[in-house]
Structure 1
Amino acid sequence: MRIVVTGGFGFLGQQVTDALLARRTLCGAPVDRLLLADRRVPAAAPVADHPLVDVVQGDLSERLDDVFRQPVDVVIHLASAVSAECESDFDLGMSANLDTTRALLDAARAQSAAGGPTPRVVFSSSIAVYGSDPAAPLPPVVDEWTLPTPQSSYGMQKRVCEQLIAEYTRRGFVDGRVARLMTVAVRPGEPNAAASGFLSGIIREPLSGLAATCPVDPGLRVALASPRRTVEGILRITEAVRGSGPGALEGGLPVNLPGLTVTVAGMLRRVAGDAVADLVTVAPDPAVEAIVGSWPASFDGARATALGLRPDDSFESVVKAYIEDHPEAIATGTTGP
């Protein structure tokens, strides 16, 4: 089986890659080759030298011939411009998220039309597809039957891609699956341009002894998932057999991955005590709050539950997992919740 991970050197791409290399199987078949496609490849990237790994560097829309030079069985499409940068640069978001995804789908379609395997394309969407429209306000609890009315360019681009994948699947061009991701926290490393990035920063930075800024009302409710649960969900949706009943992927609807509902204030006081949480300063940013505040915080997880997925046990468990996975990023003397 030849698997392509777009955005393969991004945070989630690395997590998915590590999981696949640890498992060495997907969909009941051995992983023969794993191609990581990304605009940037870090100079120090040991995985690039792994005997099963190939690397394609550059703009994905310009490198698709190289990606599909050999038959592709599965594409896990994680490459994306993120929320705040899509809001500040409309053309970037349209190109990186919408145009590139359509080009990828067309390359997969061409492979199938030429007699090759019909690729299984797994798309990482987002709860940003939801938003409260005056004519269709969000219900208190959201599920996959809730009408998506995105209130950001990023959310709109993800929603259009969902519909493209549904149409290409209906026509038999690809076997498309859509996983709607919650905000993933806690992410290690440098902050990115995602509007929700502060939800990692207000935990990550204090745990490393650094100050951080919270740009929203601490009473804001948000839905989170740990990296571990997110990767688990992506791979489970990739492997699910189409059909009905427990463990099967029924119909063409996206799957909202399980989320843990918390308040920002609740996150802060559960980090490692008041002294660490006091490193966070609240400084409202209306642009960030407008985006993140438009996303729902409570979900009916029946569709994910049917696939055997579950949310994190608690926010404390999310922080403990981060500390276990990234001990080098924790300041001396800091303890977990």
Structure 2
Amino acid sequence: MRVVITGGFGFLGRRLAAALLRTRTFGGTPIERLVLADRAVEPGAPPAADPLVDVVHGDLTDRLDEVFAEPVDVVFHLAAAVSAECEADVDLGMYANVDTTRALLDAARAQSATTGPTPRVVFSSSLAVYGSDPALPVPPVIDESTLPLPRSSYGTQKLVCEHLIADYTRHGFVDGRVARLMTVAVRPGTPNAAASGFLSGIIREPLAGLGAVCPVRPGLQVALSSPRRTVHGLLRIAEAERGKGPGRLEGQVPVNLPALTVSVAEMLRTLREVAGEAVADRVTIAPDPAVETMVGSWPAVFDNRRAAALGLAPDASFLSLVQDYLADHPNAVALDASE
């Protein structure tokens, strides 16, 4: 079995690769090669050093011949431009998100039409496909039957890709599965261009002894998922057998990964409880209307029944997310966070 992860050296790509390398199987079948494709490659990074791993370096649309040089059984398509940069540069978002996804699907289709097998394509979509329109306000609780009405270019691009994957699956070109991700927190490392990046920054930076800006009102509610739960959800949706019944994936409907609903105020209160007053006081509230408009358009409360049928559950609390971060990234925390 040959498994490909696009965006394989990104935050989630690395964690997904590590999870697959721990078991060295997919759905019980041994993985013969794990291909990590990315524009930014670190040759010495732990995933790349594993003898099971092949690395494809460069723009994905220019490297698809290399990716599909040997039969591909499963593709986790994580590579994407993120929300704020897509809003600022629509052409970038259309190329990185829509054009690249279509090129990947066409390469998978070509394989299924010639050498086979039909690739299983697992797409990381987003809660940003949802939004509120004056003619159709967003309902208080979201499930997969809620009409997606994105209020950002990023959400629109993700929704376009969802429909392409559904149509290619209907034709039998690919076996497509779509996981709609919640905002993943707490992310380590440096901030990225995602509009939701502050939701990690207001925890990560203070714990590292740095200041952070919160660009939204503290009462804003958001839907979060830990990195651990997010990777587990991607794997569960990818490995699920199709059909009706518990634990099986029915139809082509995307799966909303389970959401933990919290307010920004609750997040800051948890930081204060875990790390103390001095650390929490490193966060400055400075509302940015553009950020709040985008992040505030995303729903916060989800009906998780479709995910629960696959055995998936949301994080227990925001405290558990912070504890996961502290356990996974001890070197990213100041020795004395109160200084």
The answer to whether TM tops 0.5 is yes
1:110-149 superposed matches below 5 A: 110-149=110-149
1:277 aligns with 2:280: yes
Q: Which residue of 1 aligns with 2:15?
A: 15
Misfit runs of 4+, over 4 Å: none
> Given that residues 2 and 32 in structure 2 are in contact (C-alpha distance below 8 angstroms), is that contact kept between their aligned partners in structure 1?
yes
State the distance in 2 between where 1:144 and 1:120 align.
Answer: 21
State the distance in 2 between where 1:42 and 1:203 align.
Answer: 27
Q: Which residue of 2 aligns with 1:193?
A: 193
CA RMSD, Structure 1 to Structure 2 (Å): 0.9
> Given that residues 71 and 115 in structure 2 are in contact (C-alpha distance below 8 angstroms), is that contact kept between their aligned partners in structure 1?
no
State the distance in 1 between where 2:214 and 2:42 align.
Answer: 29
Q: CA deviation at 1:279?
A: 0.4
Q: Which residue of 2 aligns with 1:233?
A: 233
> Given that residues 212 and 283 in structure 2 are in contact (C-alpha distance below 8 angstroms), is that contact kept between their aligned partners in structure 1?
yes
Q: Secondary structure at the match of 1:241?
A: coil
1:32-181 superposed matches below 5 A: 32-42=32-42, 44-181=44-181
State the distance in 2 between where 1:73 and 1:47 align.
Answer: 19
> Given that residues 61 and 104 in structure 2 are in contact (C-alpha distance below 8 angstroms), is that contact kept between their aligned partners in structure 1?
yes
> Given that residues 39 and 58 in structure 2 are in contact (C-alpha distance below 8 angstroms), is that contact kept between their aligned partners in structure 1?
yes
Q: Secondary structure at the match of 1:270?
A: helix
Q: Which residue of 2 aligns with 1:311?
A: 314
Q: CA deviation at 1:334?
A: 3.6
| Amino acid corresponding to residue 308 of structure 2 in structure 1 | T
> Given that residues 43 and 49 in structure 2 are in contact (C-alpha distance below 8 angstroms), is that contact kept between their aligned partners in structure 1?
no
State the distance in 1 between where 2:276 and 2:222 align.
Answer: 21
State the distance in 1 between where 2:19 and 2:297 align.
Answer: 32
- 282-291 or 229-238, which deviates more: 282-291
State the distance in 1 between where 2:305 and 2:269 align.
Answer: 30
Q: CA deviation at 1:56?
A: 0.5
> Given that residues 87 and 154 in structure 2 are in contact (C-alpha distance below 8 angstroms), is that contact kept between their aligned partners in structure 1?
yes
Q: Which residue of 1 aligns with 2:261?
A: 261
Q: Secondary structure at the match of 1:63?
A: helix
Q: Secondary structure at the match of 1:42?
A: coil
> Given that residues 42 and 48 in structure 2 are in contact (C-alpha distance below 8 angstroms), is that contact kept between their aligned partners in structure 1?
no
Q: Secondary structure at the match of 2:201?
A: helix
Unpaired runs of 5+ residues, structure 2, are none
Q: CA deviation at 1:43?
A: 5.2
Q: Secondary structure at the match of 2:4?
A: strand
TM-score (norm 2): 0.98
State the distance in 1 between where 2:94 and 2:27 align.
Answer: 32
1:244 aligns with 2:210: no
| Amino acid corresponding to residue 305 of structure 2 in structure 1 | A
| Amino acid corresponding to residue 279 of structure 1 in structure 2 | R
> Given that residues 207 and 337 in structure 2 are in contact (C-alpha distance below 8 angstroms), is that contact kept between their aligned partners in structure 1?
yes
Structure 1 residues 294-325: Cα deviation after superposition (integer angstroms, max 9, x where no partner)? 00000000000000000001000000000000
Q: Which residue of 2 aligns with 1:301?
A: 304
1:323 aligns with 2:336: no
State the distance in 2 between where 1:228 and 1:157 align.
Answer: 26
Structure 1 residues 202-237: Cα deviation after superposition (integer angstroms, max 9, x where no partner)? 000011111000011111000000000000000000
Q: What's the % identity of the aligned pairs?
A: 73
| Amino acid corresponding to residue 274 of structure 1 in structure 2 | E
